Amino acid sequence: MVALEPKAVEVLLILVEKRGEVVARQDLMSAVWPDTFVEESNLSSNISILRRQLGTPPDGGDYIQTIPKRGYRFVAAVNQAGSELEAATAEVSEIVSAEATTTVRVRKLTIRPRVILTSAAGLLVVVLPLLYLGLWHGRLPGFAAEPHIGAIAVLPLENLSGDPAEEYFADGMTEALTADMAQIGALRVIARASVMQYKGTKQPLAQIAERLHVEAVVSGAVLRSGQRVRITAALIRAATGQQLWARTYERSLGDVLDLQNEVARAIAAEVQAKLTAQEQIRLARSRPVKADAYDAYLKGRYYYNQFTVDGFSKSIEHFERAIKLDPNYASAYAGLADALASLEQIGAARSEDVHPRALEAANKALAMDDALPEAHAAMASVRANDWERSAAEREAKKAIELNPGFALAHLYYSNMLRHLGRREESIAEARRALELDPLSPLTNEELADAQLSARQYGAAIEQYQKTLELYPNQPAPRDSLGWAYVYQRMYDKGLEEIRKSIALYGEDASLSPEIAFIYGITGRKDEARMILSRLLSASKAAPIAAHHFALIYTGLDEKTEAFAWLEKAFEEHSPMMAWLGVDPRFDGLRQEPRFQDLIRRVGLP
C-alpha cells in the first residue's frame, strides 16, 4: 500500500494526464494550490516524495523528469485499467465527492483516476488506484483510521536570515505560535522550554516525539526582511514522517500576531481539533502591533526565559522599550509585571522597589486586554507577592481557563496551592505543568517541590534525582534534594547535596544559614554560632535578609531571637513568609501563639 498526502496525488495525476508533455511549474502550482500563495519549494518537495515512492525505471533516471527552467514531464507508459479497477476507483471518486467540505480537496476536472502505470519491465502496476486507496484508506470499510492527533510540539523555527543575532526573533516566534496553539483545549501543546532542547538538533522526529509524548510536530522556518516576515510551517505525523499539511505565510511585521493566529487555526483544522466558541473568537481577533515594539517585546521574552537575575533585569529594559514604542501593547505590560514580580519572588529585589511597579503594569495589561492569559498570570504572581491569596488564585485559574496549555500558569498555581497546604491539588497542578513541559527544569523541580511540601519525601527525592539527571548543574533542585534528606534525618547526605548547591551558586559555605541551621539541629551548635557570628559581622557592611537569621536562631532553638528576626522578615516582606505554613524547619515554632499570629498576618490558613 502506498499512502501519499493529497497534494502529492494531485501533482501526480496532473503529470500523468499530460504524460510525455512538459508541464510548467507555475501551471502545476496554480492547479494544485488555487487561490493560495505558496513557495515553489512546496512543489519541489512533493515531486521528491513522488520520485521516492515511484522508484527508478529499469533503464535509470526518473519517471518524473525535471526540465530545467521550465517544469516537469512524466515519461512512463500509461495504460487504461480494467473493469475491476474502474469499479474501485468509482468508489474512491464517490468518497472524494463526499469529502468536498473538508480541507482536503481533490478536483476532478481533468483527472481520470482509472489510469494505471506500467513500465517496460512491468515494474509499475496499478499505481494510481493504490495511491487513492492509500490516501483514503482511513475512511474505507476494513481499513484502520490514522491515529488521532491529540498532542503536538512546535519545534524551534529555523532562523533563515543567516544572522545569529536574529535567533531571538525565531525563538520568539516559536514561543508565540506555541502560546496561540496552547489556547486550544482539545490539544496538548508542549511548552517552549521543552521544545527548545531540540533547537538545531538532527535527532529523528520519531525519537523527539516519543520523548515529548506527542503524535505530531510542527516544523518550519522564519525569515524577517525589513518590515516583512515570512513563516513556512509543516505539520508532520511523527511516527511515519508523513507531512500532513504545509503552508507559507507572509505579512507585515505589524500583522504578525494575526499571522500566528491563522497558523494555529489552520493546524487545528488539519488535526480536526474541536474549538470552543470562545477559542474561535480568541484565535480570530485582530491584534495589530507596532513592528519595533514587537521586536523589543521578543527580546524581552528571550531574556526572561533565561530565568536568571540578569535575564529578568535585561527583560525589564526591553519590555519598557516596547511600552515606550507602543503604549497600548498589553503583552509588553504583562511581561514587565511578570519580570518585576519574579525579581521580588526570588529575593533579588526589595519589595518596595519593584512591587508597586509590577502591580501598575499588571493592572494596565488587564485594562487593555482582559482576555490575555499572560496578563492574568502576571497578576497572579503580583497578588501572591502581595499575600493576597484569594486574588492570586482567582487570577491563576483565569489564566488557565484562557490558555489550558499555559505550563507556567499551572506551575504558578501549583506553587500557590502548596503555600496554602493544599497538597494533592498542588501535586496535580505540578503534574499537569510537567505534562505540558516535560523537559523543563522548572516543571520537573516543581513536582518534586510539591511532593516535598506534602512531606512525601521518598517521592520528592526520586523526582529531584530525575531532575538532576536532566540538569546536573542546576543548584536549586540539588539544594532541595539536600533538604529532603535532612527531613528524613539523613543529615550527612543532606549536607553533601546542599554544599554542592552552594558551590554551584558560587557562594561561601562558611556563610551559609542553611548549614548553620543543620548544625544547630544536629548538636553542632558551636559551629552554627560561628556562621551566625560571621553573618552578623557581614551585615554591618551590607544588608542581609532577616529571614536568614530567623532560620539560624530557629535551628539553635532560641525562640525569642527567632521570633524577633521573623518579625523583621515580615516587615521586609520576605519571600520566606510564603512558606511558613508548610516549611518543616519551623515545626518547632508552629504551636506558638506568636507563630500562629504571624501565619494569619501573611494570609495563610
d(CA 259, CA 177): 9
pTM of the model: 0.76
438 pLDDT exceeds 90?
yes
What is the total count of domains within the chain? 5
Please answer whether residues 345 and 326 qualify as being in contact, where contact means their C-beta atoms are separated by less than 8 angstroms: no
Confidence label for 546 from pLDDT (cuts 50, 70 and 90): very high
467 pLDDT exceeds 80?
yes
Pairing of strands 228-237, 188-189: unpaired
Q: Rounded to 5 degrees, what are φ and ψ at 174?
A: -60, -45
d(CA 485, CA 490): 5
The residues facing 500 across adjacent strands are: none
pLDDT in tens, 479-488: 999 999 999 9
Confidence label for 496 from pLDDT (cuts 50, 70 and 90): very high
583 pLDDT exceeds 90?
yes
Please answer whether residues 473 and 504 qualify as being in contact, where contact means their C-beta atoms are separated by less than 8 angstroms: yes
Choose the final residue of a domain: 87, 117, 139: 139
Helix axes 373-385, 389-402, angle to 10 degrees: 160
Q: 376 and 264, same structural domain?
A: no
Q: 512 and 480, same structural domain?
A: no
Sign of the torsion angle spanned by Cα atoms 291, 293, 295, 297: negative
Mean pLDDT of 202-214: 92
Per-residue burial over 264-297, b if 16 or more Cβ lie within 10 Å, else e, is: bbebbebbebebeeebeebbeeebebbbbbbbbb
pLDDT in tens, 296-333: 999 999 999 999 999 999 999 999 999 999 999 999 99
**pLDDT at site 210:** 94
Confidence label for 573 from pLDDT (cuts 50, 70 and 90): very high
pLDDT in tens, 118-162: 443 333 443 444 444 444 344 334 444 567 899 999 999 999 988
DSSP 3-state of 267: helix
DSSP 3-state of 231: strand
Q: Which is more confident, 499 or 21?
A: 499
Choose the final residue of a domain: 344, 373, 403: 403
**pLDDT at site 11:** 84
| Number of neighbours of residue 496 by Cβ within 10 angstroms | 15
Q: 473 and 591, same structural domain?
A: no
pLDDT in tens, 386-402: 999 999 999 999 999 99
Write the burial class of residue 166 (CB in 10 Å: 0-12 exposed, 13-18 middle, 19+ buried).
middle
Whether 410 is covered by a domain: the verdict is no
**pLDDT at site 328:** 95
Whether 48 is covered by a domain: the verdict is yes
Whether 322 is covered by a domain: the verdict is yes
The DSSP letter of residue 5 is -
Q: Which helix (H) or strand (E) holds 247?
A: strand 242-252
Q: Which is more confident, 139 or 277?
A: 277
The DSSP letter of residue 145 is P
Whether 418 is covered by a domain: the verdict is no
Q: 228 and 299, same structural domain?
A: no
Q: Which is more confident, 103 or 376?
A: 376
- Beta strands (DSSP E) in 381-514 are none
State the CATH number of the domain containing residue 361. Answer: 1.25.40.10
Whether 502 is covered by a domain: the verdict is no
Of the candidates 436, 399, 377, 468, the one whose C-alpha atom is nearest the C-alpha of residue 193 is: 436
> Which amino acid appears at position 272 of this protein?
Q
d(CA 591, CA 218): 55
Q: 234 and 177, same structural domain?
A: yes
State the CATH number of the domain containing residue 182. Answer: 3.40.50.10610
Write the burial class of residue 580 (CB in 10 Å: 0-12 exposed, 13-18 middle, 19+ buried).
buried
**pLDDT at site 58:** 67
d(CA 408, CA 429): 10
d(CA 433, CA 371): 21
Residue-number span of the structural domain to which 393 is assigned: 289-403
Mean pLDDT of 256-263: 89
Whether 219 is covered by a domain: the verdict is yes
DSSP 3-state of 7: helix
State the chain's mean pLDDT as an integer: 86
Q: Which is more confident, 138 or 477?
A: 477
d(CA 518, CA 527): 10
DSSP 3-state of 122: coil
Mean pLDDT of 536-552: 96
Confidence label for 69 from pLDDT (cuts 50, 70 and 90): confident
The DSSP letter of residue 436 is H
The residues facing 236 across adjacent strands are: 217, 243
**pLDDT at site 90:** 42
580 pLDDT exceeds 60?
yes
Q: 525 and 485, same structural domain?
A: no
- Beta strands (DSSP E) in 37-100 are 64-67, 71-74, 77-80
